[in-house]
Amino acid sequence: MKKILVATDFSARSDRAIRRATLLARQFGASVILVHVVDDDQPRQLVESESEIAERILADQCASLRDIDGLDCELLIELGDPFEGIAAATARLSPDLLVVGTHRRQALKDLFLGTTAERTIRASKRPVVMANNVPAAPWRHILVGIDFSDNSSAAFEAVKSLGIGANATVSALHVFDAPGTALIAHSTMTRDEATGYIAGEQVRAEKDLAAFVKRAGHAPDNAIVRFNETSVGMVLAETARELSADLIVVGTRGRSGVARTMLGSTAEETFRVSEMDVLAVPVASSRSR
């Protein structure tokens, strides 16, 4: 990892993103670029004034990263819609990683669709981290969502190619469905028979996960399967809490939208419900390396 782009709107959420990027840059010797987007759909004088203020703030932040953290830091001002500005900077600079702050949970409740962060994650061809937690240390336990698609292959590969799994525990999680379970309660199947049926599906899922890991060529520290009793995104978040994982990694379709192969809009749901950091990896990023 050599170049990290951080989108900031100078909020506390963005401060988390900058702190996470700082920890990563120190860990990997990467440079940091801070980007702020000024809305240009307003009078020219306001655009110029906001740009000047933003440049001063970014200059102070870069100076702090250079002087205190010893990092190579640059600043960038983009004009336009926040999403479009971040997308343009990402496409032009092609960073190894883009780091953004979380969406406004309290203001939006569970409404995540349409936010700048979500639109950025959907459209980006580069891996994107949403910094949910207050960063205190490098990631120690990484949970990768696996659904056997190209999306999860890209997610699994990114943990290795970005180097973030080198000094962390890596767990691979596959959440499986047992077809027909919704009908079990209305069938003549006994409880023991239903339990045995789900156990059989779990064995099948474990074999599929083992085969996937073998094909991937680099084994995780833990290979886990869980039965889907709620939703895949919820199971990912719950398992991450149980394991004390501090990063969830999911695959996305890049410009085609968030992957829906993991039993629904799993990546999108994971971003909405997760309390820990989430890394979205588009298939395009693994193919461009």
State mean pLDDT over 115-136: 83
Residues 42 and 174 both lie in one domain = no
CATH number of the domain that residue 169 is part of:
3.40.50.620
Gap between the Cα atoms of 115 and 42, Å rounded: 20
Tens of pLDDT, residues 91-115: 999 999 999 987 554 443 344 445 6
Note the pLDDT of residue 262.
Answer: 35
3 state DSSP class of 15: helix
On whether the CB atoms of residues 250 and 270 are closer than 8 A, the answer is yes
- In this structure, what token pair is assigned to residue 253? 């379709």
**Judgement on whether residues 5 and 127 belong to the same structural domain of the protein:** yes
- Write the pLDDT tens digit of every residue in 171-215: 999 999 876 655 555 566 667 777 788 898 899 999 999 999 999
Closest CA relative to residue 282, chosen from 118, 90, 150: 150
Tokens of 122: 């959907």
One domain, residues 175 and 240: yes
Cβ(132)–Cβ(276) under 8 Å? yes
Strand order in the sheet with 169-176: 73-79, 31-38, 3-7, 97-101, 128-131, 277-282, 247-252, 141-145, 169-176, 222-227
Asked if 75 and 162 sit in the same domain, the reply is no
CB 47 within 8 A of CB 41: no
214 shares its domain with 282: yes
Distance of alpha carbon 185 from alpha carbon 43, whole angstroms: 63
Same domain, 89 and 57: yes
Quick one: pLDDT at residue 113? Answer: 43
Buried-exposed string 31-65: b where 16+ CB fall within 10 A, e elsewhere: bbbbbbbbebeeeeeeeeebbeebeeebeebbeeb
Last residue of a domain, one of 132, 166, 193: 132
pLDDT surpassing 70 at residue 148: yes
Instruction: Provide the token pair at 264.
Output: 């629904």
Helix axes 150-161, 191-216, angle to 10 degrees: 50
The reply to whether 155 and 106 lie within a common domain is no
The token pair at 113 is 């669709």
Both 197 and 242 in a single domain?
Answer: yes
Distance (Å, rounded) from C-alpha 19 to C-alpha 171?
A: 25
Q: Do 103 and 195 reside in the same domain of the chain?
A: no
Q: What residue type is 236 in one-letter code? A: L
Residue 162, domain extent: 139-289
Tell me which of 91, 110, 132 is where a domain ends: 132
Task: Find, among 45, 17, 51, the residue nearest to 33 by Cα.
Answer: 17
Let me know whether 3 and 124 are in one domain. yes
What pLDDT does residue 80 have? 92
Please, are residues 243 and 111 in contact by the beta-carbon 8 Å criterion?
no
Q: How many domains is the chain built from?
A: 2
Could you tell me the pTM of the whole model?
0.87
Percent of the chain with pLDDT over 90: 61
Residue at a domain's end among 85, 116, 132 = 132
Q: How far apart are CA 108 and CA 110, in angstroms?
A: 6
Return d(Cα 62, Cα 14) in angstroms, integer.
14
Whether 254 has a pLDDT exceeding 50, the answer reads no
180 and 110, same structural domain? no
Q: Which of 6, 8, 9 is closest to 99 using CA atoms? A: 6
DSSP states of 254-281 as a string? GGG-S--TTTSSHHHHHHHH-SSEEEEE
